[in-house]
Structure 1
Amino acid sequence: MTATPPPTSVPLDGTSLQGEPARVYREMRREHGSVVPVLLDGDIPAWLVLGYRELHQVTGDPVLFSRDSDLWNQWDDIPDDWPLLPMIGRKQPSILYTVGERHRQRAAMLGNALDAVDPFELKGYAEKFADELIDGISPNGTADIIAEFAMLLPVRVLARLFGFPDDAGPGLVTALNDMIDGREKAIAGQTHLFTSMTELVAARQETPADDVVSRMLADPSGFTAEEICQDLMVMTAAGHQPTADWIGNSLHLMLTDSRFAASLFGGRNSVAEAMNEVLWEDTPSQNIAGRWVSRDTQLGGRRLRAGDLVLLGLQGANSDPQVRTDGSTLTGGNNAHFSFGHGEHRCPFPAQEIAEVIARTGIEVLLDRLPDIDLAVPADKLTRRPSPWLRGLTELPVTFTPTPALGGTHR
């Protein structure tokens, strides 16, 4: 039976969330409660979970709220060119759409491969690539930190950890950013990324090395090369854009909020505080699709039907007044946010740690190298990407005192 949300369903589009998402979520919660009927592109119905406790319930019950997209009761109404198919697609051979014991094996395989990354090597790679990127902008005195730094750093580090040679990094950066751009270059970008992953997996099957791909292939659960390639695609996409936005959103906070002014003069602890506040107040992954209800149920006072699509409102749950009773800003190491998900389908802990090291190291290197960095435009002129899913700046123009490139004298 196909569910029909109430006629007051809220269109979930990027334009409404581009400016002040906190206000939009407050209005949704006030009018609809903790579980909001929404409409996706083409007036496709879904439920957006904004309640902290309700989201905990959804993510903690993978049987009732399944990752099996075959359950969706809307497939008959989904056209082949539906713009959200790359994100809400039919079951694919990746970790995103496996369930049950096989998912647990797959998550363990990924977690073990990432957990074995040497933390000193990871930080060293992040410093190396951050320095190289800053070398390209430091003599100029001006830069767009999003396009010229944040959107270039994470995938370079991830590529090195996976086992790619450094000279493959720029091509992977271009391919991934073309995919994110979503226009005529998207297919070419996806093809380049998949071909690169396939070639790397084949090479490591022949000659294993000390890298993530080799460890994935050596896992005793016996995943195929195709499965490994699909998971590498997921890990790259999930690790790159949110980490880039984490860098951009954190630097935006530090450059516009006087509480973090000390960070611009060497206050390293404030970098971590700003990054943690972003995960609570301005998280890169705002809303995530999805879960599918396996049988009729109740959630947050709503009647959900079998096959309904449930969207995870991560930012809405983070700002739920039921858990933020004093309206305070949560910093100081409070990690009870939903920014990395929850339950067995959450972002693996080793992946969270890798993202944090990349983002924090990148910000610290940037502030070390460009200590007088400042916004080049008024803060109210900065714009966000028009997306209900990922929240990040379209650009972050800055000025600073020009300095020579370090070249081969990197730390």
Structure 2
Amino acid sequence: MTEAPQTAGCPVTAGAVPLYGEGLSGDPARLYREMRSRHGAVVPILLDGGFPAWFVIGYRELHQVTSDPELFARDSRRWHAWDQVPDDWPLLPFVGYQPSVMFAEGAEHQRRAGAISDALLAIDQFELRQICERIADGLVDSFAGRGEADLMAEYALRLPLLVVAELYGAPTGEVPDLVRDIAESLDVGDGAIDAHQRVAARMARLVRVKRGRPGPDVPSRLLAHAAGLTAEEVVIDLLVVMAAAQQPTANWIGNTLRLMLTDDRFAVSLTGGRRSVGQALNEVLWEDTPTQNFIGRWAARDTQLGGHRIKAGDLLVLGLAAANNDPLVRPDFTAAHADGNQAHMAFSHGEHACPYPAPQLAEVIARAAVEVLLDRLPDVVLAVPDADLVWHPSLWMRGLTGLPVTFTPTYTPGPA
């Protein structure tokens, strides 16, 4: 970890740590430990392009920020650096203001988030479990006869969006392109903005269809909600929900399968499976949480945080994974793995956390995916050493580029 040089015309805080570049995502836990050792709970950082920000990695400080939406607000138009941001800035999909529930505040946020919560609450979780099992079985059928598979590309990345597409009443023929575009839009790369626009266009077409032919699905419920959402509001909020459901849930599935296939505490019970799946899912949220860091919050006025002076308009990045491993709240490293301990920050916290009941629905999807896979392929093992698995080069999401496995081939008879 190197400190950023002071450059003319770039008013960065002395000693700011670059939070970009090659190699930073290989061992994020080590990076966060080094930051905490040198800077404490709030770290001055530089984002891509040399833009200064604050990285909140202390659990208590993160709780403080997420609990005070008036002081640490979501509307990114408060940022004082907009006049310096180029049109092709790679973090623009994360930071650029959009009239969505993500950037709404106060009564407007409550209106939008309330409609989303109501639309999701109408999903029967028992029916959702059945949908997940059916889709998971179909995906396993597609590779069970080969005796080998990549559980990321062929399973974890496909399953959540297939489920969401069904809940949305979307045409399944668009799912492969949706998976590709949503993953690309959430990454930091040259094609992120174009991918985001393609996904938005698909959501707009879906809403036009649902306005004319409503059904028992999430878009139709949003269109009919008493909050009086416009078609444009429904489009952009559907996009937010789908993006939040796809990549994080896919990585939750993949990270959990990796844990169960590499850690002896879970491997010994693979043939029984169900007894340890819940523990593995919870442990991943603590140790390899799919959403590692989140941009962000903007200070509404001058304040103090973690011993630093935060100025109005400053950008704060939420260090969700680092806060989960804050030794001040986790002196016993294994304590968080106890059944029922869900005090992690995996879904953030406060008014702008993942809206209820989205975390519960995500758990239904992830648990079904893991349990079906282990039931169907009880002798599944990694095809490569654990050390050879590659994590995506992203500080924002934590997920594998691939999860190659082998197993005894099983043949599913086709239709008579």
- Percent identity over the alignment is 55
- CA drift of 1:162 comes to 1.2
Q: 1:3, 1:308 within 8 Å by CA — same for their partners in 2?
A: no
Partner SS for 1:228: helix
- What is the RMSD computed on CA atoms of the aligned residues? 1.9
1:341 aligns with 2:348: yes
Cα distance in structure 2, aligned partners of 1:13 and 1:278: 24
Cα distance in structure 1, aligned partners of 2:408 and 2:170: 35
Cα distance in structure 1, aligned partners of 2:110 and 2:10: 31
Please point out which of 47, 52, 67 is paired with 1:45.
52
Q: What do residues 219-278 of structure 1 show as CA deviations (whole Å, max 9, x unaligned)?
A: 111111011000111111111000011011111111110000144112312011001000
- CA drift of 1:187 comes to 6.0
- CA drift of 1:52 comes to 0.6
Q: What do residues 74-125 of structure 1 show as CA deviations (whole Å, max 9, x unaligned)?
A: 1122111111001111x21211111110101111000000011011221111
Q: What do residues 186-233 of structure 1 show as CA deviations (whole Å, max 9, x unaligned)?
A: 566444432322222122212221111111111111111011000111
Report what 1:219 is aligned to: 225
Q: 1:11 is matched by which residue type in structure 2?
A: P
Report what 2:374 is aligned to: 367
Report what 1:176 is aligned to: 182
Q: What do residues 150-207 of structure 1 show as CA deviations (whole Å, max 9, x unaligned)?
A: 1111111001011224444344334434545666765664444323222221222122
Question: Superposed, which structure 2 residues align to 1:126-141 within 5 Å?
Answer: 126-141=132-147
TM-score by length of 2: 0.93
Partner SS for 2:351: helix
Question: Superposed, which structure 2 residues align to 1:177-192 within 5 Å?
Answer: 177-180=183-186, 189-192=195-198
Q: What do residues 317-376 of structure 1 show as CA deviations (whole Å, max 9, x unaligned)?
A: 100111001222522120000000101100012111111111110111111111111011
Sort the Cα spacing of 1:320 and 1:406 in 2 relative to 1 into closer, same or farther, 3 A. Answer: farther
1:300 aligns with 2:306: yes
Q: 2:91, 2:188 within 8 Å by CA — same for their partners in 1?
A: no
Sort the Cα spacing of 1:26 and 1:18 in 2 relative to 1 into closer, same or farther, 3 A. Answer: same
Report what 1:326 is aligned to: 332
Q: 1:277, 1:329 within 8 Å by CA — same for their partners in 2?
A: no
Report what 2:386 is aligned to: 379
Sort the Cα spacing of 1:329 and 1:252 in 2 relative to 1 into closer, same or farther, 3 A. Answer: farther
Please point out which of 259, 267, 270 is paired with 1:264.
270
Q: 1:318 is matched by which residue type in structure 2?
A: N
Report what 1:153 is aligned to: 159
Sort the Cα spacing of 1:104 and 1:50 in 2 relative to 1 into closer, same or farther, 3 A. Answer: same
Please point out which of 139, 142, 151 is paired with 2:148.
142
Q: 1:135, 1:406 within 8 Å by CA — same for their partners in 2?
A: no
Partner SS for 1:148: helix
Report what 1:96 is aligned to: 102
Unpaired segments ≥5 residues, structure 2: 1-8
Unpaired segments ≥5 residues, structure 1: none
- CA drift of 1:17 comes to 3.6
Question: Superposed, which structure 2 residues align to 1:44-63 within 5 Å?
Answer: 44-63=51-70
- CA drift of 1:19 comes to 2.4
Partner SS for 1:265: coil
